[in-house]
Amino acid sequence: MTGTTTGTTTGTTQPVTVTEDTITDAAVARWATAHDPRTAELLTALVRHLHDFARETRLTEDEWMAAVRWLTATGQISDDKREEFILASDVLGLSMLVVQQNHRLDPAATPATVLGPFHIDGSPELGSGADMSDGLPGEPLWVHGTVTALDGSPVPGAVLDVWQSDADGTYEAQLDVDEARLRAKYTTDDQGRYCLRTIAPLGYAIPTDGPVGELIGRTDISHMRPAHIHFLLAVPGFEPLITHLFREGTEYLDSDVVFGVKRELVVGFTRHEPGPTPDGGHCGTPWLEARYDFVLQPAG
């Protein structure tokens, strides 16, 4: 390859000699022609940062080809159920940065965290107190509380889309199953109250059998996430909230591999002897209770 090309974007037929010193400006100018202004802004910034990265690290051709092979493998292992690029973004801290700069909520509102790769649309709608674990092994857990606006007024009819992993740390999205498994939607009553029954979540390792896990395996980074349940609340009139509740005292709260933990989302699980449960029912074995009141930020 020679360093001489013929300019085409400008329509000139003059040869243009690209050097190490001029390539960045040339590439920025070319991508600045994107028809949509925001696309032009994003792509020109991307070119500048990528070129800076290559210069700063004195990137070699072997290293660049290794990175290309890693990106290819990340795409090849992904499908409609496995999102290896989301996982990559999560472990690099990029997902959490994007969440935080796009959800600068009132300090009284429930904070947002990462969505993660395992949410499935269209979960079944269950009644208050219904069991989304459907008899899977684990400690029975009731989670209940309210959904309110910032001023404390209840939000009736709010839908909480809930999902979690099983006792082996596996999500439905990682299995080939036909029935919804450990995921459901619950709706708040006229006083903004919700109640769900499930099994206590456990800490688990993010997938280690793909390019992301392989890369983490070459570091001292732990693959583990602390025990948590995911919640998505898309309530008209309020900012959509994607968050988790973490079990207080559980392992990995200080080292979550995807940086998702926030102090406000850590909740105590109280152990009870067999007896009455928050939904007005009865549990014949010891059970756990977690109480959490979600506070939503108004839209806009």
CA distance 120 to 106: 28
- How many other CB atoms are found less than 10 A from the CB of residue 61? 7
What CA–CA distance (Å, rounded) separates 221 from 242? 25
**199/206 with CB nearer ligand BEZ:** 206
Tokens encoding 35:
């028809």
Q: Which is nearer to ligand BEZ, 185 or 244 (CB)?
A: 244
Q: In angstroms, what is the minimal distance from the CB of 90 to ligand BEZ?
A: 4
**250: number of Cβ within 10 Å:** 17
Least separation in angstroms between CB 294 and ligand BEZ: 18
Q: Between residues 43 and 87, which has the closer beta carbon with respect to ligand BEZ?
A: 87
Q: Which residues make up the interface to ligand BEZ (CB under 6 A)?
A: 87, 90, 114, 116-118, 206, 225, 258
Residue closest to ligand BEZ, measured at CB:
116
Dig out the tokens for 182 from the structure: 């450990």
Q: Cα(42)–Cα(48) distance, rounded to whole angstroms? A: 10
CA distance 64 to 62: 5
Residue 156 beta carbon to ligand BEZ: minimum distance, rounded to whole angstroms: 29
Residue 116 Cβ, how far from ligand BEZ at the closest point, in Å?
3
What's the number of CA atoms in the CB half-sphere (13 Å) around residue 3?
A: 8
The distance of closest approach from Cβ of residue 38 to ligand BEZ in the complex, given in angstroms and rounded to an integer, is: 27
Nearer to ligand BEZ, 183 or 225 (CB): 225
Taking the C-alpha atoms of residue 205 and residue 222, their distance in angstroms, rounded to an integer, is 8
State which residue, 83 or 287, has the beta carbon closest to ligand BEZ: 83
